[in-house]
Amino acid sequence: MQPACVCLFIAFPVLDQPEIFQALVDIINGFFGLSLTGDDVTALGKLIFKNEKNFNEGVGFTSKHDRLPEYFKKRNDNLKII
């Protein structure tokens, strides 16, 4: 999903419905004037994640930083859903 700069949660329908992935490829191609295939977009996403990981390691982030903040682990009974 990284090549299209879309929310990670689009991955769920993309994995369930191949035509959604093709639509995403078509959007990328149309926006950038490219002729990428699904395999190209998948490879591009992997490259982006690899570069992001390399950058993070280069600035000192390690696996110990790859954690959710504590507030994600605490229940909030006062949370109001609108």
* Three-state SS at 78: coil
CB 6: neighbour CB atoms within 10 A?
A: 14
Round to whole Å and give the CA distance between 74 and 62.
Answer: 24
Residues 6 or more apart whose Cβ sits within 8 Å of residue 27: 4
pLDDT interval class at 5 (50, 70, 90): low
Q: Which residue has the tokens 């605490």?
A: 74
Report pLDDT for 57: 93
> Residue 3 has what pLDDT?
54
Tokens of 23: 């639509």
Tell me how far apart the 2 most distant CA atoms of the chain are, in Å. 50
